[in-house]
Each structure stands twice: as structure tokens, then as C-alpha cells.
Amino acid sequence: MNQQTYIMIKPDAVRRGLIAPILQRFENTGLVIEKLELATLSREQGAANYAEHEGKPFYDGLIDYITSGPVVKMVLSGPDAVLVCRKLMGATNPRDAAPGTIRGDYGLIMDANVVHGSDSPESARREIELFFGA
């Protein structure tokens, strides 16, 4: 099934010069980059993206981190794009991510895990609208 998904290369990866190798991983799957933008998120965008974590002990630090520097926002499309990207990214905690995945190869710690990706087609629609408009 052809679908869109939202991917964000996070501030730690941008600071470490990992944009090109991460983009290459996504392109190597055959997915198409429909939109791509380098931007610094506002606190409102960060809060909206991570609303499900509001009230948790790590929430404020998460918002501080995701707004701490530029990110690369992307819309990717292709067959089962959400699932393909989730597998390519690896487990959320880099310590649990398999070698060969983006987080397994480049992630350092849970709080700075290199990349964010939509976890469902519904999340993808919401995140694409949040970061790129309707």
C-alpha cells in the first residue's frame, strides 16, 4: 500500500553531521522524499508533536532538546512507508536498536536518538499537517 510518512532528523544528528548518511538510508529503500526542510522547531510545534508525553518526568527535557537546534523535516512516500521507516530506524532506545538500523548505528542515548518517525498512518497525517501544513 502506497502511503506517506513523516520523518525528522533530530538536533543531535544534525549537529554531528549525519544528515547525508541518514538521508541515504531512506533513499536506499526506494522511498521518495516528497518534502524536505531544515528548520528549528518552535516550542509549540515540539509540544504538539510530543503531546502524548505531556506530564511525564522527561517531557520538559524532551521539548528543550527537540527545540535546541535545527532539525530536518521530511515527508517520505512509498509502499508501506510507515513500516519501512520504523524498521529502518530501529528500536527507540539506541541500546536496544539492532546494528544496521539508523539508531543502532548512530544513536547514542535514549534522549538523543537521532531520528523521529511516525508510528502509524494516522500519526503521519497529523505530523505532516503540523510541520508542513494542510
Helix (H) or strand (E) holding 37: strand 32-39
Rg, Å, the chain Cα set: 14
Residues constituting the chain: 134
| Whole-number pLDDT of residue 110 | 84
pLDDT at 112: 86
Contact status, residue 94 vs residue 110, Cβ threshold 8 Å? yes
Residue from 66, 41, 68 nearest 53 by CA: 66
pTM recorded for the entire structure? 0.94
The residues facing 132 across adjacent strands are none
Those residues with Cβ within 8 angstroms of residue 118's Cβ, 6 or more apart along the chain or in another chain: 5, 6, 7, 82, 85, 124, 127
- In the numeric block, the cell 501544513 is attached to 133
The predicted structure's pLDDT at residue 35: 98
Total domains in the chain come to: 1
Domain that holds residue 65: 2-132
Active-site annotation holds for 53: no
Side chain identity at residue 46, one-letter code: G
Dist CA 132 CA 134 (whole Å): 7
pLDDT tens for 68-125 read 999 999 999 999 999 999 999 999 999 999 999 999 999 988 888 999 999 999 999 9
Among residues 18, 116, 118, 124, the one annotated as catalytic is 116
> Residue 31 sits in a domain of what CATH number?
3.30.70.141
CB atoms within 10 A of CB 113: 23
Q: What is the pLDDT of residue 60?
A: 93
Instruction: Give the pLDDT of residue 88.
Output: 98
By DSSP bridging, strand 32-39 and strand 115-117 are unpaired
Query: pLDDT tens digits for 31-79?
Result: 999 999 999 999 999 999 889 899 999 999 999 999 999 999 999 999 9
Q: Phi and psi for 33 in degrees, rounded to 5? A: -85, 110
